[in-house]
Amino acid sequence: MKILFIGDIYGDPGINYLIEMLPQLRKTYQPNIIIANGENAANGRGMTKAIYKKLMSAGISLFTMGNHTWRNPELETFIDEAKIIRPINDGSKKGSGYTIIQYNDKKVLVVNALGTAFMNVEYEQPYKKVKSLLESETFDYSLLDFHAEATSEKIAMAHYLDGKVDMMVGTHTHVQTNDERMLPNGTLYISDVGMTGPLNGVIGVDKDVIIDRFINQINRPNVVANGPRQLNAVLFTLSPKRKIEKIHLEENA
């Protein structure tokens, strides 16, 4: 069993580059299931139905989300029927915070949760909620997308769930980390998968907008960066031998 998890898709550059590179990823890694974080797909603001259909047609099995889940209100009209899960602790009544993917005779539980440190919004504590779900559901494998700002919170969650969840990925900060590993009790982990979208922006946004914001305190709206694109992902191999492999692709300028 192989599961490919693709880091946060940012805007049209991320959507188009992912679609272009999926055939190569399939050929090289031969994943059984492809999951992607889609909370920034609509130019940094959630997910639209048109984008959802386009990416599903390209071969994505399931989307996880994050703190921008509801930035595009159109999602409320179709999330209940879609292969999209939103964070289990965001307080929403629409959608679900988890799902089970059936692949042949195996059940894969996929959970989405939000961190609470430095997120500027108060969310329900995710720790016991996720642990309780893992203990109550029946599955063969489990994966948690923990959408959080602080690396320390991601690592703490990983150790808290070590041996209870098979795979855990961090998302949200858009920069791929260099700490992919198996934890002492068997959980496959990385602090952040990275993003799929513009290479030379500031985590997806035009660099001048963000530089202006830091230096001159001018809060202009975000603009998706142009130029070369990147794709970041991880591949989980669950049998016969368990391992996590980091993937990074980028265009030449």
SS3 for 103?
strand
> Shortest CA distance to 12 belongs to which of 59, 64, 48?
48
Please tell me the distance from the alpha carbon of residue 127 to that of residue 162, in angstroms, as a whole number: 12
Secondary-structure breakdown of the chain: helix, strand, coil percentages, each rounded to the nearest 5 = 25, 30, 45
68 is an active site residue: yes
Write the Ramachandran bin of 47: left for phi over 0, alpha for psi from -120 to 50, otherwise beta.
beta
Say how far apart CA 12 and CA 171 lie, in whole Å.
19
Beta bridge partners of 195: 8
Give the C-alpha distances (Å, rounded to integers) separating 198 from 106, 234, 253. Answer: 36, 18, 11
Active-site pick, 68, 147, 172, 174? 68
CA–CA separation, 98 and 209 (whole Å) = 35
Catalytic residues: 68
